[in-house]
Structure 1
């Protein structure tokens, strides 16, 4: 498999999960949803030696705060994108993680 040279946080991800492939996305929203899922996956799956647990909680609380400020339509769009990501994900562990994001990270409306 050929590695792709990447910079920034993708380098960090590839350190833990192997070579990272940079994709071209159809929209900015899709790219940001993918990036958010990657960050949450990293934080959620990090060992204490990789990331301080207090820092991990701060990141997760920050995401919950931002998502809480989204409109219902925006949250629905994010949940729809996550559903598409679940369908396309070949890794069973990551697929399960992605499937649990909407409920586990407060992406669903309280009324739903």
Structure 2
């Protein structure tokens, strides 16, 4: 059994796993409209995080990306902050 250093870390890992699954589903596996709704709802939720919570999640996502061995999942993690509105769009 794997232990996480914190509940926040465990929940972040679970959230990323779910969103990675939804993002990578084929149309036959999940209705595209449902997938978009799930991804948009997650982005909305993350948009409501406090600056401290956002920073903590960004640090966790960054650490997860560094440790990821699957190139496609690593790219997903690297793009995660911008794709889910955790960082401001570059000006």
1:80 and 1:40 map into 2 onto residues whose CA distance is 18
Greater radius of gyration (CA): 1
2:51 and 2:88 map into 1 onto residues whose CA distance is 7
Task: Give the conservation status (yes or no) of the 8 Å contact 1:86–1:95.
Answer: yes
Task: Give the conservation status (yes or no) of the 8 Å contact 2:65–2:74.
Answer: yes
Q: Secondary structure at the match of 2:42?
A: helix
Moved over 2 A (4+): 109-112
Quote the offset at 1:28 in angstroms. 0.4
Q: TM-score, normalised by structure 1?
A: 0.75
Pair 1:83 & 2:62 matched:
yes
The structure with the largest helix share of the pair is 2
1:46 to 25, 31, 46: 25
1:106 and 1:67 map into 2 onto residues whose CA distance is 7
Q: TM-score, normalised by structure 2?
A: 0.91
Give 5+ residue unaligned stretches, structure 2. none
1:35 and 1:29 map into 2 onto residues whose CA distance is 10
For CA contacts below 8 A with separation 6 or more, give which structure has more relative contact order: 2
Q: Secondary structure at the match of 2:85?
A: coil
**RMSD between superposed Cα atoms in Å:** 1.7
